[in-house]
Amino acid sequence: MDKNIESILIKMPQDLENTLRSLPDTIINNAEEFRFRIGQPISIISKNEEFHISYAVTYEMLNNLINRMLNYSYYAYEAELANGYITIEGGTEQVYVVRWFLTKVM
Protein backbone atom coordinates (compact mmCIF):
# COMPACT_ATOMS: atom_id res chain seq x y z
CA MET A 1 0.00 0.00 0.00
CA ASP A 2 1.17 3.51 -0.84
CA LYS A 3 2.87 5.22 2.13
CA ASN A 4 0.94 8.46 1.51
CA ILE A 5 -2.37 6.64 1.79
CA GLU A 6 -1.05 5.04 4.98
CA SER A 7 -0.78 8.49 6.58
CA ILE A 8 -4.50 9.03 5.91
CA LEU A 9 -5.70 5.55 6.88
CA ILE A 10 -4.11 5.66 10.34
CA LYS A 11 -6.32 8.64 11.18
CA MET A 12 -9.50 6.71 10.40
CA PRO A 13 -11.52 4.81 13.00
CA GLN A 14 -10.05 1.30 13.30
CA ASP A 15 -12.99 -0.51 11.71
CA LEU A 16 -13.03 1.89 8.75
CA GLU A 17 -9.27 1.65 8.38
CA ASN A 18 -9.58 -2.14 8.18
CA THR A 19 -12.36 -1.86 5.60
CA LEU A 20 -10.32 0.52 3.43
CA ARG A 21 -7.24 -1.69 3.70
CA SER A 22 -9.27 -4.59 2.33
CA LEU A 23 -9.99 -2.69 -0.92
CA PRO A 24 -8.00 -3.63 -4.02
CA ASP A 25 -4.72 -1.71 -4.26
CA THR A 26 -5.77 -0.30 -7.62
CA ILE A 27 -8.62 1.58 -5.91
CA ILE A 28 -7.00 2.71 -2.68
CA ASN A 29 -3.56 3.60 -4.11
CA ASN A 30 -5.16 5.73 -6.82
CA ALA A 31 -7.66 7.46 -4.53
CA GLU A 32 -7.93 11.18 -5.16
CA GLU A 33 -10.84 12.08 -2.93
CA PHE A 34 -12.70 10.64 0.04
CA ARG A 35 -16.24 11.91 0.63
CA PHE A 36 -17.98 11.56 3.98
CA ARG A 37 -21.70 12.30 4.30
CA ILE A 38 -23.54 11.80 7.54
CA GLY A 39 -26.00 8.95 7.11
CA GLN A 40 -24.64 8.03 3.66
CA PRO A 41 -22.02 5.57 2.36
CA ILE A 42 -18.44 6.82 2.02
CA SER A 43 -17.40 7.63 -1.54
CA ILE A 44 -13.90 7.22 -2.90
CA ILE A 45 -12.94 8.86 -6.18
CA SER A 46 -10.21 6.81 -7.83
CA LYS A 47 -9.13 7.07 -11.47
CA ASN A 48 -12.21 9.17 -12.25
CA GLU A 49 -14.54 6.47 -10.92
CA GLU A 50 -16.63 6.64 -7.77
CA PHE A 51 -16.67 3.71 -5.36
CA HIS A 52 -18.97 3.41 -2.34
CA ILE A 53 -18.14 1.88 1.02
CA SER A 54 -21.00 0.79 3.26
CA TYR A 55 -20.08 2.47 6.52
CA ALA A 56 -22.30 4.33 8.98
CA VAL A 57 -20.93 7.88 9.00
CA THR A 58 -22.09 9.67 12.12
CA TYR A 59 -21.55 13.22 13.27
CA GLU A 60 -19.29 11.99 16.09
CA MET A 61 -17.18 9.85 13.76
CA LEU A 62 -16.83 12.69 11.28
CA ASN A 63 -15.97 15.23 13.96
CA ASN A 64 -13.27 12.95 15.36
CA LEU A 65 -11.89 12.26 11.89
CA ILE A 66 -11.70 15.96 11.03
CA ASN A 67 -9.91 16.69 14.31
CA ARG A 68 -7.38 13.96 13.62
CA MET A 69 -6.84 15.02 10.00
CA LEU A 70 -6.18 18.59 11.14
CA ASN A 71 -4.03 17.52 14.07
CA TYR A 72 -6.48 19.56 16.15
CA SER A 73 -5.36 22.76 14.41
CA TYR A 74 -8.45 24.29 12.82
CA TYR A 75 -6.73 27.63 12.31
CA ALA A 76 -4.16 26.18 9.88
CA TYR A 77 -6.97 24.92 7.62
CA GLU A 78 -9.48 27.73 8.10
CA ALA A 79 -9.94 28.59 4.40
CA GLU A 80 -10.39 24.98 3.33
CA LEU A 81 -12.75 24.23 6.21
CA ALA A 82 -15.01 27.05 5.04
CA ASN A 83 -15.29 25.24 1.70
CA GLY A 84 -15.98 21.82 3.24
CA TYR A 85 -12.78 19.99 2.43
CA ILE A 86 -9.20 19.37 3.54
CA THR A 87 -6.37 18.94 1.05
CA ILE A 88 -3.64 16.60 2.22
CA GLU A 89 -0.30 16.62 0.44
CA GLY A 90 1.00 13.15 -0.32
CA GLY A 91 4.58 13.28 -1.52
CA THR A 92 5.51 15.30 -4.57
CA GLU A 93 2.76 14.33 -6.97
CA GLN A 94 -0.30 13.27 -5.04
CA VAL A 95 -2.89 15.45 -3.38
CA TYR A 96 -5.79 13.92 -1.49
CA VAL A 97 -9.02 15.71 -0.82
CA VAL A 98 -11.16 14.74 2.12
CA ARG A 99 -14.62 16.25 1.68
CA TRP A 100 -17.41 16.07 4.19
CA PHE A 101 -20.99 17.11 4.65
CA LEU A 102 -22.01 17.82 8.22
CA THR A 103 -25.73 17.87 7.57
CA LYS A 104 -27.56 14.64 6.96
CA VAL A 105 -28.35 14.05 3.30
CA MET A 106 -31.94 12.89 2.88
CA separation (Å) from 56 to 12, 26, 86, 87?
13, 24, 21, 23
Mean pLDDT of the 46-63 span: 89
Q: What percent of the chain has pLDDT over 90?
A: 22
Higher-confidence residue: 6 or 86? 6
- Report the C-alpha dihedral over residues 98, 94, 44, 102, rounded to 10 degrees: 10
Q: Specify the pLDDT at position 66.
A: 82
Q: How far apart are CA 100 and CA 63, in angstroms?
A: 10
Q: Where are the chain's structural domains? A: 3-101
Q: Specify the pLDDT at position 67.
A: 83
Q: What percent of the chain has pLDDT over 70?
A: 79
